[in-house]
Amino acid sequence: MAAGRAPILTPRGDDFPRWYQDVLNKAELADNGPVRGTMVIRPYAYAIWERMVAEVDARIKAAGAENAYFPLFIPESYFQREAEHVEGFSPELAVVTVGGGKELEEPVVVRPTSETVIGEYMAKWVQSYRDLPLLLNQWANVVRWELRPRVFLRTSEFLWQEGHTAHATEDDAREYAEHILHSVYRDFMVEVLAIPVLVGAKIAQERFAGATNTLTCEAMMGDGKALQMGTSHELGQNFARAFDVGFLDEHGEQRICWTTSWGVSTRMMGGLIMAHGDDAGLRVPPRLAAVQAVVLVVRDEDGSVTAAAGELVDSLGRAGVRARLDARVETGFGRRATEWELKGVPLRIEVGPRDLAEGQVVVARRDDGAKVPVPVAELAARAPGLLEEVQAAMLADATERRDALTTVVDSVEEAAEVSATGFAVLPWRLLDDAAIDLLGRSAVTVRCLQTPDGELPGGAPADELVAVCARSY
Amino acid sequence: MAAGRAPILTPRGDDFPRWYQDVLNKAELADNGPVRGTMVIRPYAYAIWERMVAEVDARIKAAGAENAYFPLFIPESYFQREAEHVEGFSPELAVVTVGGGKELEEPVVVRPTSETVIGEYMAKWVQSYRDLPLLLNQWANVVRWELRPRVFLRTSEFLWQEGHTAHATEDDAREYAEHILHSVYRDFMVEVLAIPVLVGAKIAQERFAGATNTLTCEAMMGDGKALQMGTSHELGQNFARAFDVGFLDEHGEQRICWTTSWGVSTRMMGGLIMAHGDDAGLRVPPRLAAVQAVVLVVRDEDGSVTAAAGELVDSLGRAGVRARLDARVETGFGRRATEWELKGVPLRIEVGPRDLAEGQVVVARRDDGAKVPVPVAELAARAPGLLEEVQAAMLADATERRDALTTVVDSVEEAAEVSATGFAVLPWRLLDDAAIDLLGRSAVTVRCLQTPDGELPGGAPADELVAVCARSY
């Protein structure tokens, strides 16, 4: 940011929630919708979401699941069939009572999640063990009425993918739920988002409504609070029984399936902002960025700089870099540089008449602010490597910050204290109901259980597990 | 289809609507949803829809529009602001009256289209002529309550893209609406779907509710009925006035924008089925197909055929062909061949032990049923060219069928007669209100107005235009 100017954003240290809101507005990411709790995702943010979708979708397909689409509207009666599910979701439902000008005979629910309706179709499509596993996914909008909405983090409508699978055995279902958590979610979050998420299992009280086991990816935000970035659920036979999803096994016996569900959402956009943002705005990791490099014409008297900058954009494109030209010379250079800084574009390539005369451009890294001159002739060849350097630096940086905010403790009192500003890791056996209540009074929850070396609990004995506690979004 | 077996599908000539329903079921394309009028899009059909999205999206981006996302829920009051719009859409609205367990103070409408809510945000984002044109698009689900639903063609919920743009002048808006119709919609439909659509303008009675001009792409189906495949609307200043979308022009004068909107939807899936399907099932044009070639292991004693077939799939993939392996040798070859025929995969590559011994495979074209032996070593090199041949043949075939079903007439009586089974083209000046009523009694409507050489009316005098009439979906 140019010296001497008033900060464009509220500094994070002053008021983190307000900084977050400022980033949403000033970087033109999102607005509140007219109906309470809904949001408008603006083009720059939506392009980042499209990149998230592409990267997650490729991993889902590699995991063997196929995309499909199920209806937005679900008969209210479907929710009654799984007792915990209806109890968990009833307070959040939006209900359509009028259609085509008439009161409906049976009200329909706007899907908050699709286990029920997909269960109904799984029952039709699965007959034999040969039809298993059935691996489905859908990209869709869902609605959960929010009383305390916050854009991207908790909205009444959000965009997500929801995977739904049916398996012949409990082991198959467990293995697949874990595979999704590791190979789709954690891999995407670490490798693309550059966010070093923890993995673990939720405690019973924090499970998805109707699940027998909920696995989670938990990230550390810039203010020391945790964010649940994605979950993968074993649903046991709860939904399969409720919707009669069964199959004839190899021996001709009729059996009930084991199902899973798993999802990540536009909430990850909030995680991106809060994990990587700084007082100058958003910072987008290069592998995620829809715009990886902006070529900025500093000034131009005769069109020659713009022409040269345009050629640079083309040559970057040929080198596989997602580059964009900013030749809006009628707007001051400083203002535009600040705008791209706000938007977190990884590389800002500044091209002015003097630079060109010297056969070079100035490359500014968004992650650490470093500026280096690069010969014009070398730019396209060097940019991909530089972007990978930025990617690695951002992950290293986020990992260091998370580790600095993580404290291993051996009492509930210490856990309550350090959880105010980060992750507290303590032996799970210390957390009886009274201890969980105590933490709850400081708005601290158990984010997940894991083995001491950070793996999923799997079959490990409960008294060997650690609980990771934090305040959270 | 194997000789002597009962047909899997009702023949088109016997009962076209039933044939359509049979294709949906037997090719595993889609099911009815549990709430009347909704649909479930199954993986094979959804993969085709994803290809439609990718191809249309690339053209939209090339036209300069950016994707964004606006809320599903729109306050009921927004619809009141544009008189024709509310009148047109009121009978089709789904209304949420309960949210989070409580009666809502203002009911919210589930979007049937988003001109209103997007108008609200355009008003915030557009200030100066420098902000124009504002070119937005969103991929979303919309809801229009349907009394006579039919999967893909008329469903209470469907998937679509809706483009919304704001311009400084009427000419700019008109030019952009026409550009979308030609360069996005017609180009995609002709070049990718292999459907030779007609372009033209709707008559006033058939315009989108709130539009000043509706441009359309109209296709001919296998039963002689027309299908509206996509529309692009000039909205004049109707929505801009209602939502106060204005700007300061170059001279500092406050002015009102001119807006457009345009969309294509999952209805195109219905068009694909009905334009190209035959009595053996779907036929998917290669450029659209999610699976362009299936490599079918005829039988395999020792795994060697499957291994060779797998290598063929890999080599086809390297040649840019979207290929899939079918090595389910426990299922009869005939049954599997019929399945891929039903699904309309353009090339079926049959590999058996004897073929391999002879160093060849048999390539069966879905479009015309031709089977030719191809040396294994040449397959990957020849497949892309063969796919382009199939693509061209399908377009030529569809064009020939459409032309055979198009009759130029010079009286309303003749138009009523030939419209029963195809397009009637007659001078627009013959169609006064009484004539349109007469046609209406045979369920014939004016699909579009165009110049005699098939172009958009543009500024051509009304008495030089022709009206294309047909029965339609």
DSSP line for B354-396: HHHHTTEEEEEETTT--EEEEEHHHHHHHHHHHHHHHHHHHHH
Using a CB-CB distance cutoff of 8 angstroms, which residues of chain A are in contact with residue B143?
A: 72-73
- Cα–Cα distances in angstroms (integers) from residue B138 to residues A272, B76, B267, in the given order: 22, 21, 17
Which residue spans of chain A are classified as CATH 3.30.930.10?
Answer: 16-276
Using a CB-CB distance cutoff of 8 angstroms, which residues of chain A are in contact with residue B74?
A: 34-35
Among candidates B33, B41, B69 on the partner chain, residue whose Cβ is nearest the Cβ of A159? B69
Q: A-contacting residues of B 133-152, CB under 8 Å? A: 136, 140-141, 143, 145-147
Confirm or reject contact between A74 and chain B (CB < 8 A): yes
Judge: A91–B107 Cβ closer than 8 Å, yes or no: no
What pLDDT does A84 receive? 86
Q: Which of A69, A127, A141 to mutate to test the interface with B (most CBs of B within 10 A)?
A: A69
Q: Which of B24, B42, B69, B102 to mutate to test the interface with A (most CBs of A within 10 A)?
A: B69
Among candidates B66, B72, B98 on the partner chain, residue whose Cβ is nearest the Cβ of A141? B72
What pLDDT does B1 receive? 42
What pLDDT does B380 receive? 97
Among candidates A43, A98, A101 on the partner chain, residue whose Cβ is nearest the Cβ of B66? A43
Distance from CA of B146 to the nearest CA of A (A): 7
Using a CB-CB distance cutoff of 8 angstroms, which residues of chain B are in contact with residue A80?
A: none
Q: A-contacting residues of B 159-188, CB under 8 Å? A: 159
Neighbours of B63 (CB within 10 A): 17
Confirm or reject contact between B48 and chain A (CB < 8 A): no
Which residue spans of chain B are classified as CATH 3.40.50.800?
Answer: 293-387
Judge: A99–B97 Cβ closer than 8 Å, yes or no: no
Judge: A69–B46 Cβ closer than 8 Å, yes or no: yes
Distance from CA of A120 to the nearest CA of B (A): 9
What pLDDT does B135 receive? 98
Judge: B101–A90 Cβ closer than 8 Å, yes or no: yes
Confirm or reject contact between A96 and chain B (CB < 8 A): yes
Q: What percent of chain B has pLDDT over 90?
A: 95
- Cα–Cα distances in angstroms (integers) from residue B312 to residues B293, B317, B349, B357, B379, in the given order: 11, 8, 10, 15, 8
Q: Which residues contact B40 (CB under 8 A, 6 or more apart)?
A: A68, A69, A70, A71, A121, B30, B31, B32, B33
For chain A, the farthest-separated pair of C-alpha atoms sits apart, in whole angstroms, at 82
- Grade residue B446 by pLDDT with cuts at 50, 70 and 90: very high
8 A C-beta contact, residue A42 and residue A49 = no
Judge: A145–B99 Cβ closer than 8 Å, yes or no: yes
CA dist., res. A312 & res. B400, Å (int): 48
What's the CATH code, domain B293-387? 3.40.50.800
Confirm or reject contact between A77 and chain B (CB < 8 A): no
Judge: A75–B35 Cβ closer than 8 Å, yes or no: yes
Among candidates B35, B95, B100 on the partner chain, residue whose Cβ is nearest the Cβ of A98? B95
Lowest-confidence segment of A75-84, A463-472, B227-236, B439-448 by average pLDDT: A75-84
- Grade residue B308 by pLDDT with cuts at 50, 70 and 90: very high
Distance from CA of A123 to the nearest CA of B (A): 13
Any alpha helices (H) in B319-366, and if so which ranges? 333-342, 353-357
What pLDDT does A5 receive? 60
Among candidates B43, B72, B97 on the partner chain, residue whose Cβ is nearest the Cβ of A157? B72
For B110-125, what is the mean pLDDT?
97
Using a CB-CB distance cutoff of 8 angstroms, which residues of chain B are in contact with residue A49?
A: 69
- Fill in the DSSP letter of residue B150: B
Judge: B93–A98 Cβ closer than 8 Å, yes or no: yes
Q: Please report which helix (H) or strand (E) contains residue B323, including its range.
A: strand B323-326
Using a CB-CB distance cutoff of 8 angstroms, which residues of chain B are in contact with residue A137?
A: none
For B144-152, what is the mean pLDDT?
95
Judge: B43–A136 Cβ closer than 8 Å, yes or no: yes
pLDDT at B394 exceeding the cut of 60: yes
Would you write out chain A's pLDDT as a tens digit for each of its 473 residues?
444 567 899 999 999 999 999 999 999 999 999 999 999 999 999 999 999 999 999 999 999 999 999 999 999 999 888 888 888 898 999 999 999 999 999 999 999 999 999 999 999 999 999 999 999 999 999 999 998 999 999 999 999 999 999 999 999 999 999 999 999 999 999 999 999 999 999 999 999 999 999 999 999 999 999 999 999 999 999 999 999 999 999 999 999 999 999 999 999 999 999 999 999 999 999 999 999 999 999 999 999 999 999 999 999 999 999 999 999 999 999 999 999 999 999 999 999 999 999 999 999 999 999 999 999 999 999 999 999 999 999 999 999 999 999 999 999 999 999 999 999 999 999 999 999 999 999 999 999 999 999 999 998 999 999 999 999 99
Using a CB-CB distance cutoff of 8 angstroms, which residues of chain B are in contact with residue A66?
A: 43, 46-47
Q: A-contacting residues of B 5-44, CB under 8 Å? A: 31, 33-35, 38-43
What's the CATH code, domain B16-276? 3.30.930.10
Among candidates B50, B69, B156 on the partner chain, residue whose Cβ is nearest the Cβ of A46? B69
Please tell me the class of the A293-402 domain: alpha beta
What pLDDT does B353 receive? 95
Q: What is the ipTM of this complex?
A: 0.97
Q: How many CA atoms lie within 13 A of A383 on its CB side?
A: 32
Using a CB-CB distance cutoff of 8 angstroms, which residues of chain B are in contact with residue A121?
A: 31, 40
Judge: B93–A100 Cβ closer than 8 Å, yes or no: yes
User: Three-state SS for B51?
Assistant: helix
For B148-164, what is the mean pLDDT?
97
Judge: A143–B43 Cβ closer than 8 Å, yes or no: no
Count of CB pairs separated by less than 8 Å, A with B:
160
Judge: B117–A34 Cβ closer than 8 Å, yes or no: yes
Which residue spans of chain A are classified as CATH 3.30.110.30?
Answer: 406-471
Confirm or reject contact between B189 and chain A (CB < 8 A): no
- Cα–Cα distances in angstroms (integers) from residue B192 to residues A133, B50, B288, B317, in the given order: 33, 13, 6, 20
Judge: A156–B73 Cβ closer than 8 Å, yes or no: yes
Instruction: Give pLDDT tens digits for B28-72.
Output: 999 999 999 999 999 999 999 999 999 999 999 999 999 999 999
Confirm or reject contact between B46 and chain A (CB < 8 A): yes
Among candidates A50, A100, A157 on the partner chain, residue whose Cβ is nearest the Cβ of B91? A100
* CATH architecture of the region A406-471: 2-Layer Sandwich (3.30)
Judge: B35–A73 Cβ closer than 8 Å, yes or no: yes
Q: Which of A35, A50, A125, A343 to mutate to test the interface with B (most CBs of B within 10 A)?
A: A35
Q: B-contacting residues of A 330-369, CB under 8 Å? A: none
